[in-house]
Amino acid sequence: MEERQVTIGLSNGQTFSYFIKEDDRSKIGNDILNLNNGEWYTFVDSNWVEYRIKKEEIVSIGVSMTVDEANLHDNELNSSNY
């Protein structure tokens, strides 16, 4: 499994970042916002602080790419410029 950095932005302007092991980037966002798992999302940041936030307060979710995904993305951008 690839380790990815996840950044969550809240409606009050706060942002939180943490690391998670997951190969599928889209699964991360879906798991965070899935209301079948309750209205709260809990995670532990890199300082070992546990946060519990209401899902309705989440306004953005950023998930880092792996090196391979970033290289593929760069190649696609470069090939479209010609």
Encode pLDDT of 28-52 as tens digits: 999 999 988 899 999 998 889 999 9
What does pTM read for this prediction? Answer: 0.79
Residue 58 pLDDT more than 80?
A: yes
Contact at 8 Å (CB) between 55 and 40?
A: yes
Domain spans in the chain, listed from the N-terminal domain onward: 3-80
CATH of domain 3-80: 2.30.30.100
Task: Give the Cα separation of 17 and 63 in Å (integer).
Answer: 10
Model pLDDT for residues 3-19, shown as the tens digit of each residue:
899 999 999 999 999 99
What pLDDT was estimated at residue 73? 85
Those residues with Cβ within 8 angstroms of residue 21's Cβ, 6 or more apart along the chain or in another chain:
1, 2, 3, 4
The residue that leads in pLDDT, 14 or 26, is 14
Is residue 67 very low, low, confident or very high in pLDDT (cuts 50, 70, 90)? Answer: confident
